[in-house]
C-alpha cells in the first residue's frame, strides 16, 4: 500500500468526509439507475436513459464546483452529477414518473432533461449539444456582469461532432469565458462506436484549435477527474478562460431502454468494461485509506435501498400534471417563477 495513494484525496484538498460523501452519491446514483431500469421493464414508466458506468466521473467533476453558486448545464446521463449538486432522489423519481411536481419540467419532458432553478441547473433541450452554446452564454453573462460564477456543461463524445460544440468552444476561447466543457466519452453514440464517429485520437485535442487547454482523464478515477476539473475551475476564476476535459468511460447499458445493443456489440465487450467500474475502484481506495469496510458498505446499501424505495413510492403516488397546465412555463407570464 503506497503512502502517496493513501493520502491522495487530502493532497487534492478533499477531506475524509468529502470522499465518503462522493462515494455515497455514486452508489445512490447507481441504485437509482438500476431501479429506473426495473421500473421501465415492469411497465411503470415509459423510458429511461442510463448513466451506469459514468457515475465516478460525474461525481469527481461535481465536487470541484460550488453548489448553489456556479451554474450547471448537465446532459441526460448526469444523474450522479445532479445528485451531487443537490437534486434529490424524489426529484428524479417525479421526473421519471412524469409527475406535476417534477422540478425539471413539471412532468412534460423525458427524464434526464434536468433543470432546477434553486440549484442553478439550467434546463436543456433534446437536440444534443445545444446546451454548449447556452453554457457559453451563461459564461458570457458572468463576464459582462462581473460575477465570478463558473459554468459547467457536459455532453457525449458523439455530440462533440455537432456544430454547436465547435461554435460554442470557439466563442468561449475568443472571449476567454469562465466555462468548463466536460465530454463524457463513453465510446458510443447509440450504435456508432468511437472510431466511426471521428478520426481524432482524443476529443480533448480539439481544444487546441480554439486556443485553450484540453485534457483527457480516466473517468473511472474520480479523484483524477476532480483534480482536472478543480484546476480548470481555478483557471476560470483567474480569468484565464475555458478548459475542455474529456473523461474516458464506457457505456455499460444499451443507449436507452428503447435500444438493443446486442445487434452492434458483444456481451463480452460489455462485461470486460464492467470490471473497470469507477465505483468499485473508489470503494477500494476508501478501504485502502482505512475509511471504509464491509460493515459500512452494508449499512450504506441498506440506507440507500430504503431511500430509493421511499422515493419510488413517492413518485408513483404523486399527481400527474393537469391538462389545463399544458402551456405552463411555455409563454412568459403563464407559469410560476
Ligand atoms: C441534434 C440531435 N441529433 C440526434 C439526436 C438523437 N440522439 C440522442 S442521443 C444520441 C447519441 C449521442 O451520443 P453521445 O454524444 O456520444 O452521448 P451518449 O448518449 O453516448 O452519452 C443521438 C444521436 C439528438 N437528440 N439530437
Ligand atoms: Mg457517447
Counting ligands in written order, the one closest to the CA of 158 is 1
Cα–Cα distances (Å) from 297 to 26, 158, 166, 286, 292, in that order, read 13, 36, 43, 11, 7
Q: What percent of the chain has pLDDT over 70?
A: 97
pLDDT one-digit tens code per residue, 26-79: 999 999 999 999 999 999 999 999 999 999 999 999 999 999 999 999 999 999
- In this structure, the residue with its CA closest to atom 17 of ligand 1 is 156
Axis crossing angle, helix 55-62 with helix 16-41, rounded to the nearest 10: 140
Distance separating alpha carbons of residues 264 and 266, to the nearest angstrom: 7
Could you write out the DSSP letters of every residue in 184-226? EE-SEETTEEHHHH-S-S-GGGGGGGGTS-EEEEETT-HHHHH
Q: Using CA atoms, how far apart are residues 112 and 123, in angstroms rounded to an integer?
A: 10
Q: Which atom of ligand 1 is nearest to the CA of 197?
A: 16
For the stretch 80-113, pLDDT in tens is 999 999 999 999 999 999 999 999 999 999 999 9
What pLDDT score does 1 carry?
A: 47
CA distance 35 to 55: 15
The verdict on the CB of residue 190 being under 6 Å from ligand 1 is yes
Instruction: Report the C-alpha gap between 12 and 226 in whole angstroms.
Output: 8
CA distance 234 to 232: 5
pTM above 0.75, yes or no: yes
pLDDT score of 328: 80
Cα separation of 11 and 76, whole Å? 32
Q: Which pLDDT tens digit goes with each residue over 180-206? A: 999 999 999 999 999 999 999 999 999
Amino acid at each position: 500500500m503506497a503512502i502517496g495513494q493513501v493520502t491522495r484525496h487530502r493532497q487534492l484538498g478533499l477531506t475524509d468526509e468529502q470522499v465518503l460523501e462522493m462515494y455515497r452519491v455514486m452508489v445512490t446514483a447507481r441504485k437509482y439507475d438500476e431501479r429506473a431500469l426495473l421500473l421501465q421493464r415492469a411497465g411503470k414508466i415509459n423510458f429511461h436513459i442510463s448513466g451506469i458506468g459514468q457515475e465516478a466521473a460525474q461525481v469527481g467533476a461535481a465536487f470541484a464546483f460550488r453548489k448553489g453558486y456556479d451554474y450547471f448545464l448537465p446532459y441526460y446521463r448526469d444523474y450522479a452529477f445532479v445528485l451531487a449538486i443537490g437534486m434529490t432522489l424524489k426529484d428524479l423519481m417525479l421526473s421519471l414518473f412524469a409527475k406535476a411536481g417534477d422540478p425539471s419540467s413539471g412532468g412534460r419532458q423525458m427524464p434526464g432533461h434536468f433543470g432546477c432553478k434553486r440549484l442553478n441547473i439550467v434546463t436543456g433541450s433534446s437536440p444534443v449539444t445545444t446546451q454548449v452554446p447556452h453554457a457559453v452564454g451563461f459564461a458570457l453573462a458572468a463576464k459582462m456582469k462581473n460575477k465570478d460564477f463558473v459554468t459547467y456543461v457536459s455532453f457525449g463524445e458523439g455530440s462533440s461532432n455537432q456544430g454547436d460544440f465547435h461554435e460554442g468552444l470557439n466563442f468561449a476561447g475568443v472571449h476567454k469565458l469562465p466555462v468548463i466543457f466536460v465530454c463524457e466519452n463513453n465510446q458510443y453514440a447509440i450504435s456508432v462506436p468511437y472510431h466511426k464517429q471521428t478520426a481524432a485520437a482524443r476529443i480533448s485535442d480539439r481544444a487546441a484549435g480554439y486556443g485553450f487547454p484540453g485534457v483527457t482523464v480516466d473517468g473511472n478515477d474520480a479523484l483524477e477527474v476532480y483534480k482536472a476539473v478543480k484546476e480548470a475551475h481555478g483557471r476560470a476564476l483567474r480569468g484565464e478562460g475555458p478548459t475542455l476535459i474529456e473523461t474516458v468511460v464506457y457505456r455499460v447499458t444499451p443507449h436507452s431502454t428503447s435500444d438493443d445493443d446486442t445487434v452492434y456489440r458483444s456481451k463480452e465487450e460489455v462485461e470486460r468494461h464492467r470490471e473497470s467500474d469507477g465505483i468499485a475502484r473508489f470503494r477500494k481506495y476508501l478501504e485502502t485509506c482505512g475509511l471504509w469496510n464491509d460493515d459500512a458498505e452494508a449499512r450504506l446499501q441498506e440506507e440507500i435501498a430504503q431511500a430509493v424505495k421511499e422515493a419510488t413510492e413517492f413518485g408513483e403516488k404523486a399527481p400527474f400534471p393537469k391538462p389545463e397546465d399544458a402551456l405552463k412555463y411555455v409563454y412568459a407570464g403563464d407559469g410560476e417563477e
